[in-house]
Chains A and B, each alone.
Chain A
Amino acid sequence: MVDKITLGYTHLSGCTGCTVALADNYAGLLTLLDRYVDIKYMPTLADARHVQKVDVSFVEGSCCINDKLAVEELKETREKSAVVVALGGCACYGNITRFSRGGQQNQPAHEAYLPIGNLIKVDVFIPGCAPTPQMIRNVAVMAYLLLKGTKEQKELATAFLTPLMKLAEKNEACFCDLMTDVINQGLCMGCGSCAAACPVRAITMEYGKPNGERDLCIKCGACYAQCPRGFFNTDVISQYEAINEAIMGALQ
């Protein structure tokens, strides 16, 4: 199909969980590939593995600055992609790789890992460990509409993606974001979204407010991104019914 967008997938220091989450869209992924997206390169799911010129590239994993190849691939990804999406907590925020002190086999000197936004400009964040198949799906459909849609679809896609672009302005995340940017700012209303979103159950709700076990936090950014007082674009979310239907319709 002529109107497909091209997608690349650069795999740095990540556990392939983000790849699996993408694949876990099952039939939805096949429909995406049939109608909307051509994967130009991607370890695991495509034959071509080397970075090419694409419309959108997903980057999984943080970047080990002691690994020359990783740094080069990341820079090349930026040069050759119109839109770079940091997929998952490691690419966005470092996530579990923040805790690396090196010494692991077979590259013990690979010890310093940075979220990709410390090295290149990133356009869109999809936080979480692992990011959810549905979030990847929604962003993929919106990215398609942004590049190939009608004027109205482009506007909707822009509005949908804007908060995820704003998230990309910051490269650190942890439970503390809920303290500093939500509770300390007098915005928490105790819904519990953060506790549900946390993949490691580091957050419990005590008397209606989140309590973080900071030693358990892996710094994936899911809690803050899920929080309705983290960001809440009323104009987009109020159209939830129509947007959900449009996304499901696009994947029928």
Chain B
Amino acid sequence: MFSMSDETNPLMMLVWILPIILFVFYGQHIQLLVTSGEIKKGIKKLDGFRTNSKKELIDYVQKSTSSNDDPTKKIEQFLDYFTIMPVDMDPNGIVDKVRHTVRSREEYTRNHVKSISPELSEIEISRIQTLLEIASSLQMIYKIVNHMFLTAKKQKNYPLILPVQMILPFLMEHATAMNAAIPAFKLGQPLGDGIGPMVVGKMMLNSEKEIISFQTSLAKVEYENRKLFLLKAEGPGSTVGRPDDALQKIVDNDKIDAVIMVDAALKMEGEDSASVARGFGAAIGGIGTEKFQIEHITTQNRIPIFSIVVKQSVKEAITLMTKEIADQADNVRSQVYEMILENTTEGQSVVVIGVGNTAGVPQ
């Protein structure tokens, strides 16, 4: 038997043929097993994140209140709260409906957080609200990924697991960033996303401020014979304010000649972090309702919108501000003043909006 050549050796033939048969009939199962291993690791990590975020939230609430009542039950109830977005089959009026739904949810969350303890300050309420959003989002990501994985496994359906495998690295990036953001929110430190409020907040220092719309601060200052309306979310609590409502109120009372928005923007792969770019159009993220409203107001009143953005990654945007981003604040501020001089003449009025979460950034 061993004297035969490789081509005719039956043992060697089996060595070749068996794996082929195995892969033809069980290829998908083998792929499912390999992919499952990777996804399981991701799910374990996501489970760790959601447990950690819940623990950190409960710890923060307990430290912020002197009450001996355990807030765990109230918080757990709230983590599973969901939002049903309005029907978009007929898109007419959808923005108002989305805004109403989102604001109702925010209002409910705020009232729910206030009900935990009457001694909580507005800043603590805003921090708890943000931590609650993080914990709730991490819980939702974990549940969705776990559901898709278990469904694919239960039905032994390999193609069903492919979308999970493809989307998992992006979800992990977001989840890791949210988990890493928790300490910064708890300590009230400025985030990468806070560069806009930081730039405008410094411009507002030593001037009279007023609350123009919900959690939004306005200061009116003079610069080179131009009237500046400086807007940012009211810091140092964790909020993004309502710049769209504020802009509407300003435009109702004054003639505005330009709007300048300062915000953080997601950098593309290969781009330098903390690089500054100028452009046109409303630089504001979120669900889209505020952007819509700002664009609507400026279009109706024929006001040009200029924007300055500081590029950063998802993680940099929601965690403690990096040195590179913080170092750009003075540069961005001087670019804002430059932009005002370039695009307006004496006697004109400009609205400068510092967009982003103002955690740790007062005015």
- Do these two chains really belong together in a complex? no
